[in-house]
Amino acid sequence: MPADTPNVVLRDYRRRDRAWVTAANLRHYRTVEGFDAGFEDAIVAALDLLERHIDDETSTFLIAEADGRPVGCVFFCADTGTAGRVRLFYLDKAQRGRGLGRRMMTRIIDRARASGFETIRVSTFDRHRAACRLYAALGFDRTTRARATVFGQPMRQVDFELGLTGPRADEHTG
């Protein structure tokens, strides 16, 4: 699907974006997904971890802006020496289904590859079907964990991994 997001700019995250990232994630996940108050602690902890890597040249922290206002975010930084992890991938509802998520993830994949990473990891939940479809379409391999109650909701965590070397390394453009 071609990206239908010509007015959306991808730019680097700035620390002043933290309030928007926190508020946007809380608004969606508490209101729409029904996550409990523990989710706010998880966002704060994730942003604390990520901001320790903000000056790392191999990290990619993106904010999507439409008409000068944030509408999405995605963060990528080292998880181990050769693997990195995607965290806090979020898009406003009005931006979904237009190719922006693919555009953001393709930027992450391209930068991770250029930085020498061999693997990208991302975790989500089975109820996030559009995200699961996107990761699969980009060539990520899927594993599913046991059902558990997370943030007050019964869900199954789904882990995805994309190899950036080897015979399937260029499938992410599919």
Please, what's the b/e burial string for 95-134 (b: 16 or more CB within 10 A of its CB; e: otherwise)? beebbbbbbbbebbbebbbebebbbbbbebbeeeeebbeb
Q: Do strands 153-163 and 119-125 pair parallel, antiparallel, or not at all (unpaired)?
A: antiparallel
In this predicted model, what pLDDT tens digit does every residue of 134-165 receive, in sequence order? 999 999 999 878 788 889 999 999 999 999 98
Residue 1 predicted with pLDDT over 50: no
Instruction: Please indicate, yes or no, if residue 1 is contained in any of the structural domains.
Output: no
pLDDT band with cut points at 50, 70 and 90 for residue 170: low
Residue 167 predicted with pLDDT over 90: no
Instruction: Please indicate, yes or no, if residue 65 is contained in any of the structural domains.
Output: yes
Q: How far apart are the two ends of the chain, measured CA to CA in Å? A: 10
- What letter does residue 140 receive in the DSSP assignment? -
Boundaries of domain holding 77: 8-167
User: What pLDDT does 2 receive?
Assistant: 42
Q: What is the pTM of this model?
A: 0.89
**How far apart are the C-alpha atoms of 144 and 28, rounded to whole Å?**
23
- Structure tokens given for 70: 């944030």
Query: What CATH number does residue 131 fall under?
Result: 3.40.630.30
Residue 3 predicted with pLDDT over 70: no
**How far apart are the C-alpha atoms of 114 and 119, rounded to whole Å?**
12
141-150: strand order across its sheet? 8-12, 60-66, 69-78, 83-91, 119-125, 153-163, 141-150
Instruction: Please indicate, yes or no, if residue 117 is contained in any of the structural domains.
Output: yes
User: What pLDDT does 4 receive?
Assistant: 62
Residue 9 predicted with pLDDT over 50: yes
Tally of structural domains, the chain:
1
